């Protein structure tokens, strides 16, 4: 594998994640992802021999890792800071794209694959959600929140952010994210000062 190959591969994955977040899983075609990365169609199947399933799974994991890294970094300043960064990250993506982009992990979680059984991309999406929840829950526990409540709050935060991103897209407004942000912030503040 040459150096430029690696770069093309990464461009394809990142581009696929972006397209999935806009059009959804099914409407993101291998053809278009290749064109977007200025790579011929055949190359995509060279880099991703298992086809679309492999590409979208990597796109989900890529988004998951990228977001988790940001979350991990910001959580060092505490749960409220982490929550703020998490919300700001998605707000930027939604607003900067003119309410066209969203979360590719959510896209995968909403569209059932044609085949009957355990699609790799959906399993990856579940893992990504769990990782984000674990990061948040861990930080909450470190700040005195009891484990059960920490886990529930973490789930609520991730779910609320994902749902709000979709609502902002539909309404073409950042208002839902701002409303959710304020309520979640109060909730986390109250939890860690109990």
Partner DNA sequence: GTCTATACGAAGATAGAC
Partner DNA sequence: GTCTATCTTCGTATAGAC
- Tell me which residues touch a copy of itself (CB under 8 A): 22-27, 100, 102, 106-112, 114, 122, 125-126, 129-130, 151-153, 155-156, 158-164, 166-167, 169-172, 176, 179-180, 182-184, 187
Smallest Cα–Cα separation from 83: which of 174, 170, 6, 181? Answer: 181
CA distance 17 to 21: 6
Q: Which is nearer to DNA, 121 or 188 (CB)?
A: 121
DSSP letter for 173, please.
Answer: -
Q: Which is nearer to DNA, 46 or 73 (CB)?
A: 46
User: What is the 3-state composition of the chain as percent helix, strand, coil, each rounded to the nearest 5?
Assistant: 75, 0, 25
We find the least distance from the C-beta atom of residue 118 to DNA, in angstroms, to be 16
Number of H helices, E strands in the chain: 9, 0
- Tell me which residues touch DNA (CB under 7 A): 2, 4-5, 28-32, 39-43, 45-46, 51-53
We find the least distance from the C-beta atom of residue 6 to a copy of itself, in angstroms, to be 29
We find the least distance from the C-beta atom of residue 17 to DNA, in angstroms, to be 14
We find the least distance from the C-beta atom of residue 6 to DNA, in angstroms, to be 9
Torsion, Cα 124 166 55 2, to 10 degrees, reads -110
Q: Which is nearer to DNA, 51 or 163 (CB)?
A: 51
């Amino acid at each position: 594998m040459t150096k430029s190959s690696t770069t093309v591969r990464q461009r394809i994955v990142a581009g696929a994640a972006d397209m999935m977040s806009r059009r959804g899983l099914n409407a993101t075609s291998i053809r278009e992802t290749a064109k977007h990365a200025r790579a011929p169609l055949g190359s995509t199947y060279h880099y991703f021999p298992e086809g679309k399933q492999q590409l979208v799974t990597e796109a989900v994991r890529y988004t998951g890792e990228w977001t988790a890294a940001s979350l991990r970094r910001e959580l060092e300043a505490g749960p409220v800071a982490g929550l703020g960064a998490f919300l700001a990250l998605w707000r930027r993506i939604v607003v900067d794209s003119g309410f066209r982009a969203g979360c590719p992990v959510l896209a995968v979680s909403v569209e059932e694959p044609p085949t009957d059984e355990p699609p790799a991309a959906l399993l990856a999406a579940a893992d990504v959600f769990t990782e984000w929840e674990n990061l948040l829950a861990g930080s909450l526990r470190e700040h005195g929140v009891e484990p059960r409540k920490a886990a529930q709050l973490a789930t609520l935060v991730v779910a609320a952010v994902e749902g709000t991103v979709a609502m902002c897209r539909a309404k073409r407004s950042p208002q839902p994210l701002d409303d959710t942000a304020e309520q979640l912030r109060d909730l986390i503040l109250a939890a860690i000062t109990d």
